[in-house]
Structure 1
Amino acid sequence: MSTVQSAARVAFPFTALVGQPLLQRALLLVAIDPRIGGVLVSGPRGTAKSTAARALAAMLPEAPFVTLPLAASLEQLVGTLNVEDVLRDGQLRLAPGLVARAHNGVLYVDEVNLLPDALVDALLDVAASGINTVERDGISQQHAARFALVGTMNPEEGELRPQLLDRFGLSVLLGNPSDPQQRQEILRTRLAFDEDPQALTAAHAAQLRQLADTVAAARAALPRLAWPDAVLQHAAALALAAGVDGMRADLVMLRAARALAALEGRDAVSTQDVDAVAELALAHRRTVEPSTNRTAPSANDNSGPRSDKPPAPAATPSSEGDWGALPPQPTPTTRVLSTGAWPAKKA
């Protein structure tokens, strides 16, 4: 097997990702609690968006990795019912879709901003509820569909509608690494993987196993963790300060905070957990920026540049008008008899 074929079959180790701690945290949180509603990863080309999603699925034991193509139909996504079988042998059979195949794994949607709105809406419904409902000709059937939804997009190719953007639980905005040392480390790790993917994976095998066990333990611990009143109050206050619409941001923050507490082995959710995940839940929903809460600077505002010169007097109306303007001049008008397009009207 050639090195290229080997690299194509071996996923990049999740623990070998460089310079993406926020993305790694968001992916782990949705893997622990898929009801968070998935994570939207936005950034330019070549920032390891798809690499991180595949690495997450490869780390989780027996977790399928399913990709949703842009040309998929709604039936391919959610499945359909073979009603014809009822007429033939009395059995109602479900033809499962991609959400059924992704159960207990990762459903990856590249360029989610280019998907039809109907597909995105249906996908986010299933991701948040964990249950897929298939309907046809008045007959419906449900099945479990719990998966970590990862949607990626390049903002240069278009944005998601605000209604769909809000449906994603968490969001991460990636940028091009600007630190030379970090870029060198990224290059060194990627080149090592391309040269010998098995060697790099083996070097991270112990960390991957430990992290997978931690995720499994966190999933089991979720039902035992509650949200104290102080945590509920803190999440609500952060959502109000961000000016978000509805209650989805509050709920996402609370679920993500609980997943973080479980991931780090704590037996209670704290306000610090809420603070740690708040920006992941609020960044794509925020309508009030923290730095623009004031519409105008106050007299005690020292944030701007200062000058020892006294302020200029306010402009007052004068006969000369505004700066650079000429005083008004009377201009006589003449009657236009014809513009050439229509014949002149007779007097």
Structure 2
Amino acid sequence: MTLNYTTLTALIAEHYTPILYDQIFRKENYFVSLLKKNAKEYTDRRIEVPLEYGNMSRAKFTAPYEVVDLVPGDPVTAVYYDPKMLRDAIIVSDEEELVMNSDRAVKNIIDVKMNNVMKGMQQVFLQNFWKRTTQGTYDWNNAKTIVSATSTLGGLAGSSYSWWQAKVVNLATSEWYSGYDAGNEDDLLNPASKCHMLKLIQRTYRAARYLTNESPTNMIIPEYCWDLLEFTYNSMKRADMYHKGAAELGFTALNYHGVAIESDSWDVAAQSTNTDGYIWAFNTNYLYMFFNPGAKFTVGKWIEASNQGSKAAKIRTYGEVCCSNRQTQVCMQNVLSPTNWASMAA
């Protein structure tokens, strides 16, 4: 049996790439699964996202015959995102081609290769989403760029429009927390401390709801903080400790007023010290993933490499992570989060 690459491409497209899409954006955690649920398709050169901030209205109480101002407050109705490409490749060596001499052999080898592609693309997506360093020109938007009061997102600078600013609090420098240390476990466990773990969750939740009355859908906190919060919940004997919606999808999340609280090890891996953990609050009703249907985990042609004995096919997806309302996104910075808590590094 000679390996037929046309048939192999059809096999991958029919049985593997649809699953690949689900596994990358659904199996990591509840938060990413909600991002995937909000996925949309676009076909234009740029992604246009209507803003949802309610700052253009001129609504007011008026006297009889009072002049009504017809000029919008800020005549900005949409933000524009440039899509970027995420690529990987599946490679078959000459030796593997000879071994793939039956349907069973083809399936066994392709199973392994596509699983590696899934893990590789998932890792790149998550590393990029949680990284703290400057976002690359061709990277998808990450959490720190989206949840910012100053950075440019969708072509609009947060520093230019107050309604295009996320709520960000630095626990190490905020006057509110003067005399308290969010980088100290004693303060995180002391109910009298402003940095008590549950109080940090409460304030993050209230910040997300401030002047919006919309609760966040998810919070992502460091693994160490998640364990401290679970310990706090246990000591309080809370009956509704865990989030039911997350549990129904196979995820474990703590519950606070219906908000799923999870941890993500890639977020912790992005830290540079043991005290720069972040507490994130996201409202996924205003976060979207856009994909071009012409390159939504599609498989390209098989090409034989001139300098090695193998054939390769590119797997690609073209899109972006977009936001339509920054005011509903919150970040509390610089909380205790030992980077070796879960990694077990020395």
The two structures have a TM-score, normalised by structure 2, of: 0.22
> RCO greater where, 1 or 2, for CA within 8 Å and sep 6 or more?
2
Pair member with larger Rg: 1
The two structures have a TM-score, normalised by structure 1, of: 0.22
Q: Which structure is higher in helix share?
A: 1
